[in-house]
């Protein structure tokens, strides 16, 4: 009998650089999650304007997604990753340079486009660099890295804004984005590239039931998610007398813990029951949010949301 083939080892240096870039980039993004609504309130924006500026970020993400998907293959992974990081570095200081609703909407659209480029490139890079038999494992690491950044980014952003002011918050976000670009610039070119299987009929693909149902569900969850996380910081600041970033820390911690065991839950229950369980818990968290009056109810609501989201989107 022949000897077993040696297990392929991933390029450690590239993974360290990639996850460094990932952590720095999402720290830059997440520091603005809880603070931007408060910043807009201090600019005397009304609730409609707050929702518009925060929500229009997603328009930037979606608008360039088809182009980004093609460019990752045709232009390369590293250039798109660097483009996303540099875009975030350029946009972050503009929040204080142009403090008007119209200007901030434009900044947010471009900032969202940068996020789209970075996430598409980083996910594809992990796929390229991972041995096929360990691809899911390393994609899980990618997800965990972003969750950790979103756990610590909001409380860090709020602390910086409270101690040093809004300008230094956006300076810190800029520094993190520059660090992401620095990490990304050290990446080597992938050893293999995916060129796809030819042109894709996106219109036909979007009409397939297995695409329509999860997409519609994700859209509804994302709408609820975006609405809550836009106005929750303002309400929590009025209700609780401590760093409201800890809500996001509890939320991310719960999501991270459940993702670590999501594979076992899926094998035991099946994907369908796990998703339904996640949606029920997420809905329960939504019901709890208006009833937050103290630390205990805040942690309970954040945990229900985090566990629900982790089960629904492991």
Per-residue DSSP letters for 244-269? THHHHHHHHHHHHHHHHSHHHHHHHH
197 domain-assigned: no
What pTM was computed for the model?
A: 0.78
CATH (domain of 181): 1.20.1250.20
On whether both 104 and 167 belong to a single domain, the answer is yes
231-243 tens-digit pLDDT: 777 777 776 666 6
Q: Indicate whether 180 and 216 sit together in one domain.
A: no
Question: pLDDT band for position 1 (50/70/90)?
Answer: very low
Whether residue 92 contacts residue 174, with contact meaning beta carbons closer than 8 Å, is answered with: yes
CB neighbourhood size of 261 (10 A): 13
**Same structural domain for residues 40 and 152?**
yes
On whether residue 5 sits in a domain, the answer given is no
Pair 166, 46: CB distance under 8 Å: no
Judgement on whether residues 163 and 213 belong to the same structural domain of the protein: no
Among 37-46, 170-179, 202-211, 254-263, name the one with the lowest average pLDDT: 202-211
Domain membership of residue 219 as a residue range: 205-314
Phi, psi of 36 (to 5 degrees): -60, -45
- Residues 271/214, Cβ–Cβ less than 8 Å: no
Round to whole Å and give the CA distance between 220 and 212: 12
Q: Which of 124, 117, 111 is nearest to 67 (CA)?
A: 117
Q: Residue 155 falls within a domain, yes or no? A: yes
147, 259 Cβ separation under 8 angstroms: yes
Asked if the model's pLDDT at residue 282 lies above 90, the reply is no
Same-domain pairing of 162 and 222: no
Q: How many domains does the chain have?
A: 2
Residue 264, pLDDT above cutoff 80: no
- For residue 198, list its beta bridge partners: 196
């Amino acid at each position: 009998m022949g000897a077993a083939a040696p297990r392929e080892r991933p390029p450690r240096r590239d993974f360290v650089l990639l996850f460094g870039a990932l952590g720095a980039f999402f720290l830059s993004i997440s520091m603005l999650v809880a603070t931007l609504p408060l910043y807009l309130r201090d600019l005397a924006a009304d609730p409609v304007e707050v929702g518009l500026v925060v929500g229009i970020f997603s328009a930037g993400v979606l608008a360039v997604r088809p182009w980004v998907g093609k460019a990752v293959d045709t232009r390369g992974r590293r250039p798109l990753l660097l483009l996303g990081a540099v875009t975030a570095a350029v946009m972050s200081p503009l929040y204080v340079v142009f403090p008007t609703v119209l200007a901030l909407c434009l900044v947010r659209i471009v900032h969202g486009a940068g996020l789209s480029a970075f996430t598409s490139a980083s996910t594809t890079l992990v796929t390229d660099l991972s041995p096929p038999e360990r691809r899911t494992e390393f994609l899980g690491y990618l997800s965990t890295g972003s969750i950790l950044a979103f756990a610590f980014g909001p409380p860090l952003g709020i602390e910086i804004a409270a101690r040093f002011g809004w300008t230094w918050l956006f300076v810190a976000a800029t520094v993190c984005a520059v660090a992401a670009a620095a990490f990304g610039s050290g990446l080597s070119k992938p050893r293999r590239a995916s060129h796809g299987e030819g042109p894709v009929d996106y219109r036909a693909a979007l009409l397939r039931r297995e695409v329509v149902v999860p997409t519609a569900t994700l859209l509804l969850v994302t709408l609820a998610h975006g609405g809550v996380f836009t106005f929750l910081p303002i309400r929590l600041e009025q209700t609780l007398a401590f760093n409201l970033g800890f809500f996001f820390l509890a939320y991310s911690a719960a999501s991270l813990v459940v993702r670590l065991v999501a594979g076992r839950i899926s094998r035991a229950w099946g994907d369908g029951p796990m998703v339904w369980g996640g949606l029920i818990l997420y809905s329960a968290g939504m019901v709890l949010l208006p009833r937050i009056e103290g630390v205990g109810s805040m942690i309970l609501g954040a945990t229900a949301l985090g566990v629900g989201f982790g089960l629904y989107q492991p």
